[in-house]
Amino acid sequence: MTEFTVTSLVLLPIGLGLMGFIEPCSLGSTLIVVKHLEGTNSATKVAQVSIFAGTRAVFIGLLGMLAVVLGTAFLGLQRGAWIVLGVVYVGLGLLYVIGKANVLMVSLGPSLARLSNLRGSASLGVLFGLNIPACAGPLLLALLTAAAVGGATGRTLASGFLSLALFGFALSLPLVLAVLFRPARRAIDWLAGLSRRLPFWTGLLLIALGLWSIWFARSPAVMTSM
């Protein structure tokens, strides 16, 4: 893979996934899962968090594949696709910067608050994994848009699955560490103190990515491939 492909398919999804975890409402859902597993034995903890992280990665990865499929309907419209991606990123970034990103924050999947009352079910890891915190919604939208653009520019279903699955895994990884390792819980408490300032920097990052995408749409690499 080229350096650009590694960045867009691997590093960016992981980075946005970790950012999504540090968002305030994501940290709140983390506490629910951690408390749910308190008092259980090590084997149960490992099994539940493994199923949780794996389910979330696969679930979000499948959404990425669907986005690629939708994007293939516009195959060949490379320049326009990159411009659309840039506009979406800049728009999301501005919402973060001005503190209005909450309009797009919708939790997907079963409610963790309701699931927290259940105990001992082997399927709880799956149910937890199907929940996507509301705070991660705008970031998920950004990556789904990128996956759709990938479909329009000829990327494969596997690339869409990989990028979104990595996002889902990164969104879960700190929680997995918090459940399995007590020192990691203290680190999450420290991150909670930074969570209120994070949306502003997330917004600036998305704006920068959006402006780069619009610039890239005008580059010779795109123009010659049209």
pLDDT in tens, 83-114: 889 999 999 999 999 988 888 887 777 776 66
- The two counts, helices (H) then strands (E), for the chain are 12, 0
Indicate if the pLDDT at residue 119 is higher than 60.
no
Least confident range from 40-44, 74-78, 104-108, 182-186: namely 74-78
Other Cβ atoms closer than 10 A to 171: 29
Q: Report the amino acid identity of residue 15.
A: G
Collapsing DSSP to helix, strand or coil, 108 comes out as strand
Residue 74's contacts (CB-CB under 8 Å, 6 or more residues apart) are: 80, 81, 151, 152
Tokens of residue 111, six digits: 């409610």
